[in-house]
Amino acid sequence: MLTLPDDLRGAFKDPMGPVYTDTERLLSDAGDPIVAVGDVVAYHLRVAGRDPDVAVIDGKTEREAVSDEIAAVLADDDRRIEVTNDPATLSASMLEALAEAVADPDPVVIYVTGEEDLATVPALLVAPEGASVVYGQPGEGMVLVDVTAASKREARELLGKLEGDTAAALAALGVE
């Protein structure tokens, strides 16, 4: 549905919020609900006793399979939605799954065949204000993004820079 052009890859590298290495501190600053994008982030939240309301995982970290310990902790899923999402893209199934998962009052894991890296942007659009989206910043820690009118605007601008049908993507998310 949407593809990240090569010339925009740098725009998605800078953290969209503060970077944490202490999960407890991150959780004390986080809103509710929490959307976690990435296996290692979801793992750290679960180990700290806070199951993310939505976890978007792909069984990998930095394009390598996660450790057996991380895989075991993440295997304990309440509800699981499986989607296919190629690298550097946002598929219709990913967008629809995010909208469905955020609307579910129970925890949901979205398991991605492919790559989940760009899911942060639509997660910000579909999560309610007051929520938090947490994602991994390779080699640095976990980025906490508060869902506010401003972060939603920034996410919408980033989504609009991707190649493809932005209107259809917003419709798949249930966002105007």
User: Is 32 assigned to a binding site?
Assistant: no
Domain residue ranges in the chain: 18-171
pTM of the entire structure?
0.94
Q: Residue 68 annotated as binding?
A: no
Q: Quick one: pLDDT at residue 69?
A: 87
Give the pLDDT confidence of 123-173 residue by residue, as tens digits.
Answer: 999 999 999 999 999 889 999 999 999 999 999 999 999 999 999 999 999
Is 60 a known ligand-binding residue? Answer: yes
On whether 41 is known to bind a ligand per the annotation, the reply is yes
Between β-strands 19-20 and 141-146, what pairing exists: parallel, antiparallel or unpaired? antiparallel
Residue 83 has a CB neighbour count (10 Å cut-off) of 21
- pLDDT reported for residue 74: 86
Q: Each residue of 23-59: pLDDT tens digit?
A: 999 999 999 999 999 999 999 999 999 999 999 998 8
Is 109 annotated for ligand binding?
no
How far is 108 from 23, CA to CA, in rounded Å? Answer: 20
